[in-house]
Amino acid sequence: MQTKESKVILITGASSGIGEATARLLAGQGHHVVIGARRVDRLEAIASDLRATGSIVEYDSLDVTDLDDVRAFAGLAIQKFGRIDVWINNAGLMPLSPLDALKVDEWNRMIDVNIRGVLHGIAASLPIMKSQGYGQIINVSSIGGHTTFPTAAVYCATKYAVVAISEGLRQENHDIRVTVISPGVTTSELAGTITHEASADYMEEFRKIAIPAAAVARAISHAIDQPADVDVSEIIVRPTASSY
């Protein structure tokens, strides 16, 4: 059931975790949601669930490291709805390890997804929003974008970069709202990419205190709900009981 003005909202990394929770919340609020991720079977299941309740959802395979793929994802929204109101750069990886483990391939993959993926989302959506004269880009960073932890140097560097890119984007575009969402420990599959055994053990303990992905989705919804002349520049949302 529609409860507010419908917007066309695109979400990357939408097959699980924060992306899925956000898609479910926003679609339930009556927005037109376009979801993308590499796991198309998961997207199909989510879309089927939401369509069964009357929600308007489109989905497509999406690799955020491929600029052509990201532009095609934007094109799907234009083809179906004629505009893009909100773009949520949510896709991310977190294969933690100490630097001396020299997991260079994992460093590069984090840089590709967590930084280049955000830039690709901006490259695909910004020209459309500029031609419209309005829009909102929401970038999901992390508490790791504000502090650094052992085993997380590269991950935190990518999330610091998201904050810096977002602030530059905000300063350069007074007709586009730019929001950073920085979650603390959140229930998700993110830690499942850790291949360094000691780091995985550490994160299992670290992640015992966590908020549900739906809590982050509500923060995203709050930023979207503000009037056009109000930009929520950043929200940090984390467990009350957490020190981090």
Catalytic residues: 155
What values do phi and psi take at 181, rounded to 5?
-110, 120
* CA torsion, ordered 16, 185, 92, 197, to nearest 10 deg: -100
Report DSSP letters for 7-62, one per residue: -EEEEESTTSHHHHHHHHHHHHTT-EEEEEES-HHHHHHHHHHHHHTT--EEEEE-
Task: Please state, in angstroms and rounded to a whole number, the distance separating the CA atoms of residues 145 and 147.
Answer: 6
The answer to whether the CB of 167 falls within 8 A of the CB of 179 is no
Cα of 1 vs its chain's centroid, Å: 25
Cα angle vertex 230, ends 229, 233, to 5°?
135
Burial of 41 (0-12, 13-18, 19+ CB in 10 A): exposed
CA distances from 142 to 126, 181, 186, 191, 229 (A): 23, 7, 10, 14, 25
Distances (CA, A) of 15 to 39, 42, 204, 243: 6, 5, 22, 29
